[in-house]
Amino acid sequence: MGDEYIECRASDIVEGLIRDGRDDEIVVLLYMSRKEAVLFSDISLALGNGKYYASSKKTLSVIDMLMGMELVRKITVHYYRKEIKAYILTECGLRVAGKLSALFGLQQKPKNIEEGFLPLQTASRGGGQE
């Protein structure tokens, strides 16, 4: 196998994160597993337990660590005339987050269902088309 091929050993990565006390990275992976894409400010708020924003230095440190492990990737979203930087989980990141969710007894929400789709359907005239 060539150097380009990097195998995702999700179990080993999870073990390493826990062994090394990487609680912040675990929090971000679990948070991101529930979202399609997140902004820097979303990650900062998740690191602040949803009550306050963590420092930019701390947030950037966690993002850099996860990107270095190839669990997270930065993307650019074009919105009107603006370019917005967002972060998404890689395939390996999704697998690691899934293992963490199972380990901590969290039920992972399927990512292929759009946010708000089901409540909107049930709220409108009987919940479905006839």
Domain 10-107 falls in which CATH fold? Arc Repressor Mutant, subunit A (1.10.10)
Question: What pLDDT shows up at residue 49?
Answer: 87
pLDDT at residue 130 tops 60: no
Beta strands in 19-107 (DSSP E): 72-79, 82-89
Tell me the per-residue pLDDT of 90-124, one tens digit each, with 9 for 90 and over. Answer: 999 999 999 998 888 876 554 544 443 333 333 33
H/E run at residue 100: helix 91-103
How far apart CA 57 and CA 129 sit, in angstroms, is: 50
pLDDT at 5 over 90: no
Model pLDDT, residue 6: 55
pLDDT at 125: 39
User: Six-digit token pair at 8?
Assistant: 């995702």
Nearest-angstrom CA–CA distance, 53 and 84: 19
- 3-class DSSP state of 64: helix
Please state, in angstroms and rounded to a whole number, the distance separating the CA atoms of residues 107 and 100: 10
The dihedral region occupied by 121, where left means phi > 0, alpha psi between -120 and 50, and beta the remainder, is alpha
Domain boundaries, the chain: 10-107
Residue 67 pLDDT level (bands cut at 50, 70, 90): very high
List of residues 6+ apart from 51 with CB closer than 8 A: none
Mind listing the pLDDT tens digit for each residue in 50-65? 889 999 999 999 999 9
The backbone region for 27, taken as left when phi is positive above 0, alpha when psi lies in -120 to 50, beta otherwise, is: alpha
